[in-house]
Amino acid sequence: MENYYLAVDIGASSGRHILGTVKDGTISLEEIYRFENGMEKRNGHLCWDVESLFHEIKMGMKQCAALGKIPCSMGIDTWAVDFVLLDRDGRRLGDAVGYRDDRTKGMDEKVYEVISQEALYERTGIQKQIFNTIYQLMAVKEEQPEALSGAESLLMIPDYFHYMLTGVKRQEYTNATTTQLVSPVTKTWDYELIRQLGYPEKLFTELSMPGTVVGTLTKAVQDEVGFNCKVVLPATHDTGSAVMAVPVPENGERKGHETEKTHDTDGLLYISSGTWSLMGTELSEADCSAESRKANLTNEGGYEYRFRYLKNIMGLWMIQSVKKELAAAGEEYSFAELCRMASHETIKSIVPCNDDVFLAPKSMTEAVNAYLREAGQEVPETAGALAAVIYNSLAQCYKETVEELEAITGRTYQAVNIVGGGSNAEYLNQLTAKATGKTVYAGPGEATAIGNLLAQMIRAGEFQGLAEARAAVYHSFEISTYV
């Protein structure tokens, strides 16, 4: 009898429940539930509706019972950096404010009054992003000191959902590293830094690795969803899960490219492509050098204490925003249609994708056009041309990031592995291959959910380790090649 494993993968715009099974070393997936997500204004801030999200988590679990496919374990992954505070009775204090909220404006300078930006990077290896948890906590300290002083626990968003399911509080390692409060040397909280910043030490407890059993469902949840199962930590940071699912053949040879040897797992070059594009490699030790800091590369924690040495790139957020704006204006296009339209355009204009003006503009279309006008570049006049500007800009950003990674690591990469939803964007994949001069292997699209499942499957003994699991991904899912 096959065992079912349930991955609940929640992104910035949607979530999904995916059941996974393994038979003869091949992984099969079945999406059984999907729901919408997004930030909304609450009390003057952009917030996540965590009550609604938890309801959707349970609705998807009920679908397992309805199908008669009861998982032996489940785990939840989400985006990084955001958190909730809980009081001594385990009740949430305040709203779950999202990373696109502007409450962190100026909070970096407050942090730098305590520790310089240079010293902070040398200590944590995490790139400067104004929405990092370290700055969000400073905003709480400055604006809501009573909430911080009254808090007994801090849980990242997926840790909070695991707590709601089991009644057990666990802080998972890969997501914790994105707070910019974890030491890459000790691989646990940097308590000295936490004390210096004036954050309550009691909020930061022992970190748990992916594969850790959190517990079983509470009786209330069991009664509601109709079954009991183990809750097992995946890499709760969605990028951590996606990188676990980068497909690597065990014999080091690609289908159709038998003479081309793949790099080892420490030499992977990947893009986890979704709302954000996370582009990087894997390292066994963090690089906290000044050169790395100046390139704005980050050392996020990965499975088995690997380091995801990567750069956050604005990613498909830009095209997602444009798609919504076009729809609001009566122009409905699918992403595939936007890719096709862009492929016929000749516009050469480029914008810097990571510029703060594109983080949360009122209108992405106008933000792109305004930047191009000010830069003296051609302004797109059609939806296809606008999409072409964004896709070409992303490919250029990927090219620059490859060059930085090769210069700093001293490695030369032969290929780029693109996983996640963006791996289906054929035109962008073609542009990426052309811009970087690398072979692009695209797929699987559901990498985050697959990586979530892999942590559970390895824990259950379906695979003997990450290398075997990655090889199973390679043989289980279609991988497209672009040269």
With a CB cutoff of 8 Å and minimum separation 6, the contacts of 243 are 235, 268, 270, 272, 278, 282, 302, 303, 308, 419, 451
Cβ-contact 125, 305 below 8 angstroms? no
For residues 98 and 10, give the distance between their C-alpha atoms in angstroms, rounded to a whole number: 14
The residue among 236, 232, 409, 391 whose CA lies nearest residue 310 is: 409
Looking at residue 91, the DSSP 8-state letter turns out to be: -
Cβ-contact 339, 79 below 8 angstroms? no
| Pairing label, strands 171-172, 207-208 | parallel
Q: What are φ and ψ of residue 454, in 5° steps?
A: -60, -40
For this structure, is 238 an active site residue? yes
With a CB cutoff of 8 Å and minimum separation 6, the contacts of 85 are 92, 93, 94, 140, 147, 148, 151, 153, 154, 203
Q: Would you report the helix, strand and coil content of the chain in percent, each value rounded to 5? A: 45, 25, 35
Q: Looking at the chain, how many residues does it have?
A: 483
Cβ-contact 227, 70 below 8 angstroms? yes
- DSSP sequence for 139-183: HHHHH-HHHHHT-SEEEEHHHHHHHHHHS---EEHHHHGGGT-B-
Q: Of the residues 102, 238, 266, 355, which is catalytic?
A: 238
Owner of token pair 């936490």: 194
Cβ-contact 476, 27 below 8 angstroms? yes
Owner of token pair 């990586």: 451
The residues annotated as belonging to the active site are: 238
